Structure 1
């Protein structure tokens, strides 16, 4: 360890490989997640983010989250700066409604009482004003409904009409109502019930891990998108606590319906991989007209509602069907710089190099071993014996590979922080690499960065050919140094990049309960994992369930809609790339 620290003294004179102008991002989004006191859980605090809304306003993106004490701004969707507003709802914002109309950004918190709408014509300054002092109590369609919880604004430019959608319940429907712009967006008429869940027909709406619980599911996260004259009323379910949290849509010809269930639901679904659960977000367009969908992945270390946020390329296909591309959704993707032809263009192709690779550490607290940082599970983690500068992790890729990016994911193990004071809450570390395990070169230096980056993503300016990577700790605000995953991306043999073989003997057999299907395949030697893909047509395989190769070569998918035929296929991936799809199997 002393020899390694001695090398660290030479960093100032050596060139770093990290990119000063990153062109990629990796989910979960690399932002300063705020310490969240919604639930202290036996005095343990944690950083969290949930229920994102990204608004494209006057050439700048603004990101609003649950209980953040402010919001973020970005010019490119990759570099986010936190803004502390001049005025903020007294209790904090939960699952906010935000919208940009002409030169004004509007904001409404979730509320079960009467609350104001805020607005800003200069949100980059943090200046917020009252648009109205409070919305009146909702017309009492149900006895105890006063305010709108989980609200979403919608402005129909063609009609010059305003609407509000809301709801978060496992017994009440989602509602919508028209707003009167002439009366400071006061309610007009009675709330209209718009949709319910039907888990007896829609397998993905069942609660629990892999939809295996009988608890009545929750519907929430309303959002409206208008496309080619159709209204896409989006919602999330069956609950944020598990890997199957998803977004879906109903489609109508008018802002308040009637709406019909889209047979290709859910639209955003990611039950497998590192970041799972992608419900409760919004759909927005970037500067180039591309669509994106945001969501709330599941962490659940300190509390079941501990979460992060993610964004995925989205769009409408030739049949006006809304889809979200979550395939390899927690691998690096390019930030948008133009209008794309297909959302697959944004996937960098950089593959996961660190899965189950051996890892050693400077020290270990109790049984929380370093091997946990390469298992692609955010709910397992390494904890150092001390939170002090010089603690380290060392990863062996087991051969020289081409490294393109690294992601360091922290865990708030037994945290006691009750403040988001930037003088206390920040992360600092160094990354280095070696081809032989003895001579080390700098890779990235975040020791002068005072940001909090609990999911720090580091893109390299140039690829680096190396075998060993090392994390050297400098500072984290919480009392323990805990890291859940040390993820490395690139290629195993960039000069001889052969994709893996196509999985064979792929079968998909629908259960007697038509909400379920059993898939199986023959293992492909040497691969890292597989993507089971499916959809309602052979060229619409929008859904994906990622399975690692050390798991069984069979899986029950419990997310189908009764009465809908499907098509299934599978692909393998390794450290060089992705195989071609298997033969597509029709599942009537």
Structure 2
């Protein structure tokens, strides 16, 4: 398969890049960012848009297998970085929402939300050769989840409702997954106490949200039952946890919920996910992220490292997860590192020019750090281009290219949707060098991160279309990462956290605007020495309604720019 051509510089260890946040050299293909760069499928009807959500991921026979709703197939990978797509036609329920998989012995099992529960199996999922199981489970499962305990017993969990609870029951895989005993109610709705369960863009709607997408994890003898809330179309979609001593409870709410949460940054949302261990024993969370512009269910997938301990509980690193980070090839302490490459965002709201633009889709929409907005050229013809001026020469490490598919009329089933282009750099706007050459690309990659072999000092970067295509050449994010040579912002002053005394789920934050700051990272948690949550804000005020009514919180805030992070 044709690969991109990168700028090559002598004296660099082949295929390896130095991280600013550590002394290690990292294989280039293991440097990634969110959303995960998959060939997200266009849907068969409604608005032409890509979608994948409700993911589940398991390690099986030397490969990671990733399933997601409405994808027409699934993916496998040896390293969580490079993914191979496997089209699937032998699972009749593949187009149902919320798939789940379970390895038992030498066989992988699959089911999904459907009117009548059907389970399928495959001992060789690298091949599309799934077979139906004589399924005897009589419960209708919405957002199902398999779980196999250490003693070999198997359980099913399910739930997807703004009224009904999350449920669970033991099943017998040797007898068609027949239920053993009665299903139990495990998690009810408590939006009155837990603000993050309340629906709305800012948790503002006066009703219960949807509790859905359960997942079970066992750690040091205790059972962590996960669930998502309040709705997949919101940036405040997250995953929470109840903890118990048996697979079917009783369960107790984890005070520092939600453990997976990403309301800010380039792309938001971290809900309806699945927590799993990689082959080194590291924990990860794969979850749904939102665009929800063309359709509520226009979604992507995100991958987040997870720290878990009996002392600090469980939390996913999401703050810098849409910046470049590395996939480790060894056991790693995620309580001490978020895997960041230490590269800064250089392109935010820098001057932008383009060959053309449609009204409402101006060039500035390509570097405003919102995947929900995008620049669209007037055509999809060759030589449409977009250029960013960093205003001063900076050391560039990587470019993150996010295509927006504007005015496409693509519907499943469809062949790969392939962009072809070049990315060039310049110090003066006159003499250009090729950084990335994708003129002969054959891969469907709408969210590709391109790390350079070695940092290059540049002021201007531009991307130019090299292929006549349907619709418009368009970008929701042309993001440039590296290191500026100026000063980091000063320490944030004037920070205030004001709690609404009539509704303690609501906080309003204000602080002094710091000179030279690109944005701010607000952190919080219920433990003073472990602030497990974060949101990226590009203003100097913020209101949030997703706190627990009866919890006490600690906060911190830092400023950042292209040069680094304040103290």
Paired residues of 1:288 and 1:339 also in contact (CA < 8 A): yes
Question: What's the C-alpha RMSD, in Å, of the aligned pairs?
Answer: 2.0
Task: State the shift of 1:50 in Å.
Answer: 0.7
Distance 1:243 1:369 in 2: 23
What is the distance in 2 between the residues matched to 1:291 and 1:89? 31
1:74 aligns with 2:77: yes
* Matched residue, 2:155: 163
- Unaligned stretches of 5+ residues in structure 1: 1-10, 139-146, 581-588
Matched length: 548
- Tell whether 2:464 aligns with 1:463: no
1:507 and 2:496 aligned: yes
Three-state SS of the structure 2 residue aligned to 1:224 is strand
State the alpha-carbon separation in 1 of the partners of residues 345 and 368 from structure 2.
11
Number of the residue aligned with 1:574 = 561
Asked if the contact 1:428/1:476 (under 8 Å) is kept, the reply is no
State the secondary structure of the residue aligned to 2:392. strand
Partner in structure 2 of residue 340 of structure 1: 332
Which shows bigger deviation, 411-420 or 18-27?
18-27
- Report the Cα distance in structure 1 between the residues aligned to 2:191 and 2:7, rounded to whole angstroms: 58
Residue 212 (structure 2) pairs with residue 212 (structure 1) = no
Distance in 2 between residues matched to 1:538 and 1:358, nearest whole Å: 40
What is the aligned partner in structure 2 of residue 29 from structure 1?
36
Give 1 or 2: higher strand fraction. Answer: 2
Which digits, 9 at most, give the CA deviation of each residue in 1:259-303, with x for residues without a partner? 111111010111111111110110011121111111111101211
User: Whole-Å Cα distance in 2 between the matches of residues 36 and 13 of structure 1?
Assistant: 32
User: Which residue of the partner structure matches residue 535 of structure 1?
Assistant: 525
The match for 1:125 is: 127
Q: Which residue of 1 aligns with 2:393?
A: 400
Q: 1:536 to 1:28 in 2, by over 3 A?
A: same
Residues 320 and 527 of structure 1, relative CA distance in 2, 3 Å threshold: closer
Tell me, yes or no, if the aligned pair for 1:16 and 1:442 is still in contact at 8 Å: no
Give, in whole Å, the separation in 1 of the partners of 2:469 and 2:76: 24
Alpha-carbon displacement from aligned partner over 1:76-128 (angstroms, at most 9, x marks no partner): 1111110123612256242101122332211112112242x112222123332
2:363 equivalent in structure 1: 370
Name the residue aligned to 1:586: none
Structure 1 residue aligned with 2:20: none
Aligned with 2:97 (options 79, 94, 98): 94
- Compute the displacement of 1:351 (Å): 0.9
Matches within 5 A, 1:239-318: 239-318=231-310
Query: 1:447: how far off?
Result: 2.2
Q: Which segments of 5 or more consecutive residues in structure 2 lack a partner in the other structure?
A: 16-26
- Check the 8 A contact 1:408/1:485 in 2, yes or no: yes
Q: Could you tell me whether the CA contact under 8 Å between 2:7 and 2:453 is conserved in 1?
A: no
Question: 2:488–2:563: 8 Å Cα contact kept in structure 1?
Answer: yes
Residues 1:326 and 2:331 are matched in the alignment = no
1:174 aligns with 2:166: yes
- The normalised TM-score by structure 1 is 0.89
Offset of residue 529 of structure 1:
0.6
Would the alpha carbon gap of residues 170 and 72 (structure 1) be closer, same or farther in structure 2, given more than 3 Å must change? Answer: same
Counterpart of 2:106? 103
Partner Cα separation in structure 2 for residue 248 and residue 411 of structure 1: 31
Counterparts of 1:286 and 1:182, CA distance in 2? 27
Deviation at 1:182, TM superposition (A): 2.8
Contact 1:65 1:93 in 2 (8 A): no
Quote the Cα distance in structure 2 between the aligned partners of 1:568 and 1:12.
Answer: 45
Q: Distance in 2 between matches of 1:128 and 1:212?
A: 44
For the residues of structure 2 that align with 1:160 and 1:461, how far apart are their CA atoms? Answer: 47
Q: Per-residue deviation at 1:544?
A: 0.7
